[in-house]
Amino acid sequence: MESRFNRLHFWFMIGGLETHHITRSFSSLRVNPDRMLAAFNQLALIGATSDGGVDRVTFSETHLAARPWFKEEIEKSGLEFRTDGAGNYSAFLSSSAPDDGHRKIPVRGDQTLLLGSHLDSVPNGGRFDGALGVMAALEVLKTVKESGINLKSRTELSRSVNLEAIDFTDEEGTLVGLLGSAALAGHLSQQDLDSPRGGRDKLVEGMKRAGLSDQSMLSAVRPKDSLAGYLELHIEQGKRLERAGMDIGIVSAIVGIWSYRLAFIGRADHAGSTTMDDRLDASLGASAFTLAAREMVLKDFPNCVVNVGKMDFAPGAFNIVPARVDVLLEFRSPDEEEFKRLDIALLELARREAGHFGLELNVEFLGKHSPSMMSDKVQLAYAGACDDLRLTHIALTSGAGHDGQSLVDMCPVGMIFVPSVDGASHAPREFTKWEDCINGANVLLQTVLKLAA
């Protein structure tokens, strides 16, 4: 299969970039698995937890230790280090060196093919989420640099394509969520910074520690035509690849996320002297909603998920009937129309359960990300790279949000997943076999070459 395709040197084009089957010299290029593993393992020590995970919450001490380590790793490789006002850290590989005879010096307006992920983690998270994507992107740049390949736009051969491996700030949303990518794409507003989901105080304190500010965040926007595309390798964070026995998942869409704070409000009473019938117990509405929301999604919204990640009880004493329970609600869908139906259904359910127990309901909308479609062209390039590498692949939706969704209006975006053992994610037991990690990195490398070599 491989040799036939290489002989054909077959080209096709969708959207602004072209893909083509690469020549034998490029198609045999592979990342260095030992070098990538060494870097990955060093990174995993920064914020390592006793149970094998990492805790690198955005702008925490451990997160702020991982970034200078990444900078040093970039500079040791002979790549250029870059950063911006959003605190995004990048390795940069200019492709303007003289080698294709067209021109010899960098030209303003060259496009950059961006690869990356994030170094921050959820509290008490795993070693692979985000970290694998950044380490693989860096390894791809090291490999391309060593190979001496000069990348260029397939639509405009006079234009070079630079490579950049980026660590996006606060992907996980301890502060804002997809913060670095939103800033880069110009989607970040002062309003987002004024009422971030993690609270304004935490954001201000974190930015201060990182030497950033509202102003610097809003200055990180890049020109709309500056990116040739965005590619990301990530662990699946689910069991679909493992169950299907597949090597690579090619993401067709990233689900959208809506979040709310629902306050079920009853009345504080003495928990001994107030009869059961006389209570307005906020815990009952919150509990009934949590159970019914799950049932409803399982039954009526099979493509969606819902999560009650936290409840806050007030006053929160043994001997006082809960007067108020705040429910942190998040739900996801790959389809905008389904989202709207689910939104209406969940809020109606919350109102019904509150009413059933004589409670009031306060609804606070916290934010939304719409579902994001991945670029068909990039998906095809990924599939071609998998086939070349004799790796099996299936199309998947991403139930998790990712920085790519910030960039879909700006450039072609595509993601691949590698299998997560037992589907574990956002937990210390998160694990992906190293062979699968390397497969993913090689698909990333070969896709870069298909898109811009």
Q: State which residue, 83 or 124, has the beta carbon closest to a second copy.
A: 124
| Cβ atoms of 335 and 371 closer than 8 Å | yes
DSSP secondary structure of 215-282: HHHHT----TTSEEEEEEEEE-SSSHHHHHT-SEEEEEEEPEEEEEEEEEE----BTTTS-GGG---H
Task: Based on the shown chain and the rule CB under 8 A, indicate whether residue 121 belongs to the binding site for a second copy.
Answer: no
Task: Based on the shown chain and the rule CB under 8 A, indicate whether residue 266 belongs to the binding site for a second copy.
Answer: no
CB of 29 to a second copy, least distance (A): 31
Contacting range for a second copy; rule: CB under 8 A; set: 31-39, 140-148, 155-163, 312-320: 312-320
Q: State which residue, 384 or 440, has the beta carbon closest to a second copy.
A: 440
Contacting range for a second copy; rule: CB under 8 A; set: 67-75, 132-140, 219-227, 281-289: 281-289
CB of 191 to a second copy, least distance (A): 19
Instruction: Please pick, from the candidates 148, 245, 309, 337, the single residue that binds a second copy as defined by CB under 8 A.
Output: 309
Task: Based on the shown chain and the rule CB under 8 A, indicate whether residue 323 belongs to the binding site for a second copy.
Answer: yes
- What does R_g of the chain's alpha carbons equal in angstroms? 24
Task: Based on the shown chain and the rule CB under 8 A, indicate whether residue 287 belongs to the binding site for a second copy.
Answer: yes
Cα–Cα–Cα angle for 384, 137, 197, rounded to 5 degrees:
110
| Cβ atoms of 119 and 175 closer than 8 Å | no
Instruction: Please pick, from the candidates 90, 160, 283, 432, the single residue that binds a second copy as defined by CB under 8 A.
Output: 283
Beta bridge partners of 254: 372, 398
Tokens of 388: 């070349």
Task: Based on the shown chain and the rule CB under 8 A, indicate whether residue 423 belongs to the binding site for a second copy.
Answer: yes
Beta bridge partners of 230: 114, 413
What are the angstrom distances between the C-alpha of 237 and each of 128, 289, 301, 419? Answer: 10, 26, 20, 8
Identity of the amino acid at 122: V
Task: Based on the shown chain and the rule CB under 8 A, indicate whether residue 236 belongs to the binding site for a second copy.
Answer: yes
Task: Based on the shown chain and the rule CB under 8 A, indicate whether residue 273 belongs to the binding site for a second copy.
Answer: yes
DSSP secondary structure of 88-127: -EEEEE---SS-SSS-SS--TT-EEEEEEE-S---TTB-S
Q: What is the total count of residues that contact a second copy (CB under 8 A)?
A: 65
Instruction: Please pick, from the candidates 93, 306, 443, 448, the single residue that binds a second copy as defined by CB under 8 A.
Output: 306
Instruction: Please pick, from the candidates 87, 206, 371, 399, the single residue that binds a second copy as defined by CB under 8 A.
Output: 399
CA 41/CA 39 separation, integer angstroms: 5
Identity of the amino acid at 201: D
Q: State which residue, 259 or 439, has the beta carbon closest to a second copy.
A: 259
Instruction: Please pick, from the candidates 398, 406, 432, 447, the single residue that binds a second copy as defined by CB under 8 A.
Output: 398
Tokens of 363: 């609804």
- Residues 180-219 vs a second copy: string with x where CB under 8 A? -----------------x----------------------
Q: What is residue 200's DSSP assignment?
A: H
* Residues near 251 by beta carbon (within 8 Å), at least 6 away in sequence: 374, 379, 395, 396, 397, 398, 414, 415, 416, 417
Task: Based on the shown chain and the rule CB under 8 A, indicate whether residue 278 belongs to the binding site for a second copy.
Answer: yes
Identity of the amino acid at 23: T
* Residues near 391 by beta carbon (within 8 Å), at least 6 away in sequence: 247, 248, 439, 443
CB of 255 to a second copy, least distance (A): 6
CB of 416 to a second copy, least distance (A): 14
DSSP secondary structure of 315-379: S--TTB--SEEEEEEEEEES-HHHHHHHHHHHHHHHHHHHHHTT-EEEEEEEEEE--EEPPHHHH
Task: Based on the shown chain and the rule CB under 8 A, indicate whether residue 364 belongs to the binding site for a second copy.
Answer: no
CB of 199 to a second copy, least distance (A): 12
Q: State which residue, 18 or 236, has the beta carbon closest to a second copy.
A: 236
Instruction: Please pick, from the candidates 281, 338, 388, 436, the single residue that binds a second copy as defined by CB under 8 A.
Output: 281
CA 93/CA 309 separation, integer angstroms: 41
Task: Based on the shown chain and the rule CB under 8 A, indicate whether residue 280 belongs to the binding site for a second copy.
Answer: no
CB of 121 to a second copy, least distance (A): 11
CB of 267 to a second copy, least distance (A): 7
Contacting range for a second copy; rule: CB under 8 A; set: 1-9, 91-99, 336-344, 393-401: 393-401
Task: Based on the shown chain and the rule CB under 8 A, indicate whether residue 307 belongs to the binding site for a second copy.
Answer: yes
CB of 391 to a second copy, least distance (A): 21
Strand pairing category for 393-398 and 248-254: parallel
Instruction: Please pick, from the candidates 47, 133, 180, 401, the single residue that binds a second copy as defined by CB under 8 A.
Output: 401
The 10 Å Cβ neighbour count of residue 255 is: 25
Cα–Cα–Cα angle for 223, 101, 23, rounded to 5 degrees:
85
Instruction: Please pick, from the candidates 122, 193, 241, 389, the single residue that binds a second copy as defined by CB under 8 A.
Output: 122
Applying CB under 8 A, the residues found at the interface with a second copy are 122-124, 172-173, 197, 236-239, 255, 257, 259, 267-278, 281, 283-284, 286-288, 290-291, 294, 297-298, 305-311, 313, 315-323, 328, 330, 332, 398-401, 423-427
